[in-house]
Structure 1
Amino acid sequence: MAAATFARKSSLQAALRYRVPWRSIMVHGASVLIILWIVLPFSWVVLTSLMTEAESLSVPPHWIPDYITFDNYLAFLNPDMLGTQRLVGGGAALGAGRAMLNSAIVGLSVAVLNMIIGSLVGYAFARLNFRGSSTLMLIYLATRMVPALAIMVSLYLIFQTLGLLDTLLGLILAYLTFTIPYSVWIMASFFRAIPRDLEDAARVDRCNWINMVMRVLLPVATPGLIACAMFAFMSSWGEFLYALLFTSTLNSKTMPIIIAGFVTDVNTSPVLMNAGGVLAVLPPLVLALIFQRLIVSGITAGAVKG
């Protein structure tokens, strides 16, 4: 009898001690929903790009293609293979090759300029004590909060006066307006985290300022430079609004504009549009996978130590 009572008390105490981990369940559930929110649309884009035109427009729609084909990618890269797709929105692929080249030129130029300007200005904020430096940094960061529509008309009039409309140089300058402030902030925080002893040691070795920056500081600040370059490249590679406003011919149009061109007044080519979307995602995705460790270390070092 006593043993049975003790067993019941033990089981009751164990039940009271056990609590349903609602917090953990909610966190994991929210994580799953966020992953599905991101993965499912991109999965649909990839799978649709592997379908034929007729299959993508079938009713009811289906996710998995009955027959996987890569003709959409080949037609996107080689417009001579378009055939009848020219008549149903596929004509935009005629400028795909030039658009990819334009996007690469603009993205790489913006990335390189962000590394150069961001490192120089960031070093000035980190090492030079001048009046109003904190206020000026806040002004730099505040420009990131200004909507693109607020300065679009001004930029258009300036570029029109300078003859920069429908040019790659105009796009590069437009993208620098919203990428430079972030690069300056990251590099200033990163340089503040670098001990001054390194600079003192370089001066003892009779190293001038340029050599000190090039041979001592920049190698240490490589993660920050990579983070700035990747942010600038991704921001300019997929930007749509400025590219739509400031470009009008194939000489300067970028990938987002060409992909949007698959939606016409007559018809839409979803398979070619999605194939172009997948190809547009690949360059930044590959770069992010290659430099992910440097990107994470650059952002965290600049944010935490700075």
Structure 2
Amino acid sequence: MPFPKAVRLVEVGPRDGLQNEPEPIDTATKLELIERLGAAGIRHIEAASFVSSRWVPQMADHCEVMTGLTRHPGATYSALTPNLKGLEAGLECGVEEVAVFGAASEAFSQKNINCSIAESLQRFEPVLERAKAVNVRVRGYVSCVLGCPYEGEIAPAKVAEVSKALYEMGCFEVSLGDTIGTGTPFKAKRLIEAVSRDIPMDKLAAHFHDTYGQALANLYAVLEEGIAVIDSSVAGLGGCPYAKGASGNVASEDVVYMLDGLGIETGIDLNKLADTGTWITQAIGRPNRSKVGVALAAK
């Protein structure tokens, strides 16, 4: 199958990238990060998470972020809302798109959201109903699609089952997350083949972590299958608190460099994006995990 002509990048740095940072990051820094990402041409930014500040203290200023950001024409600023309480809080703060997250692993679902996969899907039903009533789109995430820290291998059929449930519930798009980054290109292809039997390819996204250095290879493999939406995080920020040693998301700069090299349109200015990665890692005292970002900064 030919590569897609264009790819939509979903930038998850402000949410997934920052949520586990141990030191508080002030709201102004988060807002500047979102503004810089928008100025680099990114049109889909996951900006906040409406979860309990007891569990994720870094996201306690979610409302200030959502109400304080400058909305660029044609850009979408989404937030994570795992339950009805989170959605209602998000709606009060003007969210226009939200996301719910399930898992393809029973053990991970229990550790992450304290319930079974079936229970998690039941919890999402009222969220989808309420969002639909107020014309807010809902994206679905599936964690552990290429491996689980507790169960090991995950069958593609199990991922397909959870993905199909989210899609049929009303999620406009399902993002497949290799949470611990253990996937390899052949497994990634098999995964997409299984899931795309039930869900149209243009309703799927790839959210691959780079723990084992496989994320770009895996993305190349699923681009060949027809995937045209990729989640990534500027400077490779982020990790997973439930997956020890998981280094986090694939770096947006590295993804854009690869897509540019393949002649695939993104609408993103790589230099501005790399400058943003350099800026945010210096601002929060973190290493820049983007190889492209580090190389450009050294020039």
Question: Does the pair score TM above 0.5?
Answer: no
Q: Relative contact order (C-alpha < 8 Å, sep 6+): which is higher?
A: 1
TM norm structure 1: 0.21
State which structure, 1 or 2, has the greater radius of gyration over its C-alpha atoms.
1
**Which structure has more strand as a fraction of its residues?**
2
